[in-house]
Structure 1
Amino acid sequence: MFEVSTDRYGLPTGRYEVEDGRVGRAETFSDVLGEHGVDYQTILRLADAARPEFEVTNLRAGRPYRVYVNPWLQQPQYLAYQIDARRYVVFDLQHPDRTHVATRPVTRQWATVAGTVEGSLYETVVDNGGHPLLALRLSEVFAWQIDFFRLRAGDSFRLVYEARAVEGDAVQPGDIVAAHVRHRGEDYYAFRFESGAGDAEYFNRAGQSLRRQLLKAPLQYSRISSGYTNRRYHPVLKEYRPHRGVDYAAPRGTPVRSVGEGVVQRAGYEGPNGNYVKIRHNGTYTSGYLHLSQISVASGDRVQQGETIGYVGSTGRSTGPHLDYRLWKHGSPVNPVTLELPPSQPVPLQHRDAFRATVWALLPRLDGESVFARASSGAGPRWNDRTAPAGPHLANR
């Protein structure tokens, strides 16, 4: 018996004349098949057969496709379209009901990327061989501990993540598994762990959740142009006065996110504040966002932590695009940069041993060396002072 070889779309090679192409700008499914003589009724049946896994209206310009032509009948038999790196759809032009969507297997393995910041986090990750998405994910992991706008030269990071590949070609990476950031002389650790509730969270070495009531900053990438101070020279009023907020310089239109869950108290234009949103998070904290170009919420709306509530602008008393971010505690202004918030729930007691095992396995990858001491009897590993995640008394971040 002869073994029939197949191509990347699972179709037999050697039986058909193959024509490779790419979807042109503004080209539709009908356009692609019409060029090969497929009638309109068959095109409609093919579109129906692909649903709901794939809508033919979602063809994207530049994506590859392959047409298989029967050399004896000189008519097309199949059209294979690459949906994304993993998925593809095979349209059976002679038997539309046999149309199907398939997925290529993805190989996964842990990989490490590390670097010392000289410019931006994004540039450092990419310069050290990491996918750009990892910079965003790292900032999200430590969103409650580190203001990534305040990274400075000499800060460093090392992260372990799930590298993914399809047929040997790298695709978008999976989650960050663990991370270590040294920022302004302080060490911050994160370990991804699923405690049984269904959703994985990030915890520090002591098993305390990294999630906090409020995010450290309302923008993902920018820089602080003016800090919280009792005396600042106002560029418009030309006088010294207190500045009870933090100014973030960012391009007009940059999304502004709510630092926490809450209810919108104000959303509209308010004199010197320009387009202004104020959110009450609980009985303790309230946040404000000034000079927005657009507002995406209305008074009375409930918003989630990280939800976009507006966009950076220069409305009101402002000399250029920026966000003036304010935070109040029990009605009094506080400095959001220096404010320390308590963590959410720690790793549940019944999962503490499994969490310790996770940390024990990952710490050597983060530190680049073995960080475990062995008992003098040689009976096995034990936690030393540097790595023990067992108690809240440890000064672990």
Structure 2
Amino acid sequence: MMRILHSLPRTHKLLLLPVATMVTVLGAQKVLTTFEDVQRDRQTLDTVLVPLDADASPGLPSLDTKRDAVSGALAKANQALDATRGHVPISALTASEVVDIDFIDAARANRSESGVPATLAMPAQNDASPRTGQAPSEGDTVRLDEGAQHMAMVIGTIAAGMLELEDGMVADATSYEDVTEDELALFDEGPIVLDQEIVANEPFVPQWQTYTVQSGDTFAIMAQQHLEMGYSEVMALLDTLPEPRLLTHWRVGDHFEYQLDEQGDLLALRMMKNARDGYLVERQQDDFEVATIERAGEATQRLFAGTISGSFARSAKATGLTSAEVSELSRVLEKKLDFRRDTRRGDRFQVLVESDIIDGKSLDPRVLAVEYAGARMNLTVVRNGEDNRFYTPEGESLDPAFNRYPFEGRYRLSSHFNPNRHHPVTGRISPHKGTDFAMPIGTTVRAPANGRVEKVGNHPAAGRYVVIRHDNGYKTRYLHLSKPMVSNGQRVTMGERIALSGNTGRSTGPHLHYEVLVNNSQVNAMKVSLPENQSLQGDRLVAFQRQAKPMLAALESGQTGSVVASTEQPATDDDEG
């Protein structure tokens, strides 16, 4: 009991003060017995004098009284009790206050036959006082006055050790009855640990765990040992996955995450192909369901600056640009810049690149703005978010209205446009009214300008082919294709994929036969005059210039590193190449 009381907070101790009052009843029995001993010795005693300090104020001690003051009062009270037994002369006490104990007669009147007081009480206000010698009549309620009750509560509280000293130490206290070790063992259930009790009552919540592939691991064995899966379940899971190679072709260090239920059976499996894309597999009764994962990154802009000192690609990579970013930068500039003739050592350039940052990795880089300051050319272009094309700050398009080549990259020109060409098989003059580019089968063919598909067909000599009529009135034809990617009447835009090159029809090898027709007559596609660049006007120009303003400001600042701060990857300055 005392161990529990001492472990409670102070507020709870005060709530248990009535219990301490019951303990005081036993102390009252001691006072009653002492009084009877004095009477047997024929000593006269109506009151017990409780000496207090000279500066003590009248009244009873309260719970607000300091510990040392209450303890001193109790010590002197004990002296008074000793005086009643004759151990100390009452005359030796300095009486500063008198505590009336006439309640003893009333207490004696209510004692049970066993000698233990059944009720300790003082008469009510309208009852006869015990001093008159008239005992309370049977059935009357005898009560302690408020002062005596308060004193009993204070004494019981201090005796129980339930008040703390000012320095944080607990007051001296002792048990009033011994308890054997065997009796303790009957009730000792160990300490109650609140954290363990809370955990025991909380519902089970599955947690994600990570498994890292070790040398010699296979998913089938790992699943049986760690995921409690049978061989048939493993095969069913692999059959459900769109890309089972993620689990069947492991490399040391690869990892995936999983959840288990309370019995240790697999609940869910999560694996990533890369930082952005992956799959989530969840168990649904006796089957598995697969959902795709696509993580959104934080768009971050970085500015790179460099100087030409050798090839453009090597100089650009020296600034810290990745291979993918250098490739896109080259595609942007080559529309206006000939890297072999126009670049000079010492030319300077700046590139503003935006990419998605996921787990500290840069994904999907996008060139936003470029500034090139060279001996032979100065050029500044900004990407327009509306059509993803590049324009000068004045709104002039970097892209021509009609591309010279219907593909990206460089491929060898295997046969020129030639009206007097000799046929490679018969040797007779057989005009070649197109331009042939040698390229592997399956190379992407793109529309050189906006237009509409006029014809998709197959011919014994031309093989599979596509014809497009463009908005400026020109027409283009593509022969010997392996696969058309458009259909009759379909609207296409500049740069859109329209077919895959091949070697169909009468052909001596894989290539693309490309024709440009003006007024329905074939012309030399490499020399024909193409429409001028298109420019932004009106509201489109205003919107573009508003969007381009912060990008141009970033170029003018010349401060390399992160322009838009990223929490996942701190800004770092890139050295100039």
Range of TM-score over shorter length: 0.5 to 0.7
Partner of 1:264, secondary structure, is strand
Contact kept in structure 1, 2:352 and 2:555, CA below 8 Å: no
Identify the range of structure 1 (285-294 vs 56-65) with the bigger mean alpha-carbon deviation. Answer: 56-65
Contact kept in structure 2, 1:222 and 1:248, CA below 8 Å: no
Structure 2 residue 395 is matched with structure 1 residue 217? no
Partner of 1:236, secondary structure, is coil
Map 1:26-175; keep pairs closer than 5 Å: 36-37=227-228, 57-59=241-243, 61-62=245-246, 64-67=255-258, 79-82=269-272, 84-86=274-276, 103=295, 106=298, 108-112=300-304, 130-134=321-325, 137-138=328-329, 141=332, 145=335, 152=340, 159-168=351-360, 170-175=361-366
RMSD of the TM alignment (CA)? 5.3
1:152-173 deviations in Å (ceiling 9; x for gaps):
47758763211443232x2323
CA distance in 2, matches of 1:183, 1:270: 52
Shift of the 270–135 alpha-carbon distance from structure 1 to 2, 3 Å rule, reads: farther
1:39-85 deviations in Å (ceiling 9; x for gaps):
99x99xx9xxxxxxxxx634552374123568x96555764433541
Structure 2 residue 520 is matched with structure 1 residue 331? yes
Q: Which runs of 5+ in 1 are unaligned?
A: 3-11, 47-55, 369-397
Deviation at 1:318, TM superposition (A): 3.5
Map 1:229-244; keep pairs closer than 5 Å: 229-230=417-418, 233-234=421-422, 236=424, 238=427, 243-244=432-433
**2:440 alignment partner, one of 234, 237, 251:** 251
The structure where strand makes up a greater share of residues is: 1
Shift of the 77–351 alpha-carbon distance from structure 1 to 2, 3 Å rule, reads: closer
TM-score normalized by the length of structure 2:
0.44
User: Which residue identity lines up with residue 314 of structure 1 in the other structure?
Assistant: N
Deviation at 1:300, TM superposition (A): 4.3
Q: Number of matched residues? A: 334
CA distance in 2, matches of 1:120, 1:217: 22
Shift of the 193–235 alpha-carbon distance from structure 1 to 2, 3 Å rule, reads: same
1:375-396 deviations in Å (ceiling 9; x for gaps):
xxxxxxxxxxxxxxxxxxxxxx
Partner of 2:516, secondary structure, is strand
CA distance in 1, matches of 2:363, 2:531: 33
User: Which residue identity lines up with residue 405 of structure 2 in the other structure?
Assistant: A
- Max radius of gyration: which structure? 2
- What residue is the counterpart of 1:262 in the other structure? 452
User: Which residue identity lines up with residue 166 of structure 1 in the other structure?
Assistant: I
Deviation at 1:253, TM superposition (A): 1.9
Partner of 2:553, secondary structure, is helix
User: Which residue identity lines up with residue 478 of structure 2 in the other structure?
Assistant: Y
User: Which residue identity lines up with residue 259 of structure 1 in the other structure?
Assistant: P
User: Which residue identity lines up with residue 532 of structure 2 in the other structure?
Assistant: P
- What residue is the counterpart of 1:191 in the other structure? 382
Identify the range of structure 1 (129-138 vs 257-266) with the bigger mean alpha-carbon deviation. Answer: 129-138
Structure 2 residue 380 is matched with structure 1 residue 176? no
CA distance in 2, matches of 1:233, 1:285: 24
- What residue is the counterpart of 2:176 in the other structure? none
User: Which residue identity lines up with residue 208 of structure 1 in the other structure?
Assistant: E
Contact kept in structure 2, 1:125 and 1:132, CA below 8 Å: no
Deviation at 1:112, TM superposition (A): 2.7
Shift of the 18–287 alpha-carbon distance from structure 1 to 2, 3 Å rule, reads: closer
Deviation at 1:139, TM superposition (A): 6.5
CA distance in 1, matches of 2:329, 2:322: 11
Contact kept in structure 1, 2:299 and 2:354, CA below 8 Å: no
Deviation at 1:267, TM superposition (A): 2.3
**1:203 alignment partner, one of 386, 391, 416:** 391
Partner of 2:325, secondary structure, is helix
Contact kept in structure 1, 2:484 and 2:499, CA below 8 Å: yes
Deviation at 1:188, TM superposition (A): 5.1
1:267-294 deviations in Å (ceiling 9; x for gaps):
22152x3433221123611001122233
CA distance in 1, matches of 2:292, 2:436: 53
Shift of the 93–239 alpha-carbon distance from structure 1 to 2, 3 Å rule, reads: closer
CA distance in 2, matches of 1:293, 1:62: 32
Deviation at 1:36, TM superposition (A): 1.3
Contact kept in structure 1, 2:463 and 2:480, CA below 8 Å: yes
Contact kept in structure 2, 1:267 and 1:298, CA below 8 Å: no
1:84-135 deviations in Å (ceiling 9; x for gaps):
41466777879999x99684753623143768698997x8876875444435
User: Which residue identity lines up with residue 212 of structure 2 in the other structure?
Assistant: D
User: Which residue identity lines up with residue 272 of structure 2 in the other structure?
Assistant: Q
1:156-200 deviations in Å (ceiling 9; x for gaps):
8763211443232x2323321013579996555430234xxx555
1:222-269 deviations in Å (ceiling 9; x for gaps):
324157555675461546776443322211221222223312235221
TM-score normalized by the length of structure 1:
0.61
Contact kept in structure 1, 2:416 and 2:434, CA below 8 Å: yes
Partner of 2:245, secondary structure, is coil
User: Which residue identity lines up with residue 218 of structure 1 in the other structure?
Assistant: P
- What residue is the counterpart of 1:311 in the other structure? 500
CA distance in 2, matches of 1:62, 1:124: 37
Deviation at 1:219, TM superposition (A): 1.5
User: Which residue identity lines up with residue 190 of structure 1 in the other structure?
Assistant: V
User: Which residue identity lines up with residue 434 of structure 2 in the other structure?
Assistant: G
Shift of the 27–328 alpha-carbon distance from structure 1 to 2, 3 Å rule, reads: farther
Q: Which runs of 5+ in 2 are unaligned?
A: 1-194, 196-204, 248-254, 561-577
1:16-55 deviations in Å (ceiling 9; x for gaps):
8753349x9x989xx9589712599x99xx9xxxxxxxxx
Partner of 1:288, secondary structure, is strand
Map 1:360-371; keep pairs closer than 5 Å: 360-364=552-556
CA distance in 1, matches of 2:514, 2:484: 15
CA distance in 2, matches of 1:353, 1:131: 29
The structure where helix makes up a greater share of residues is: 2
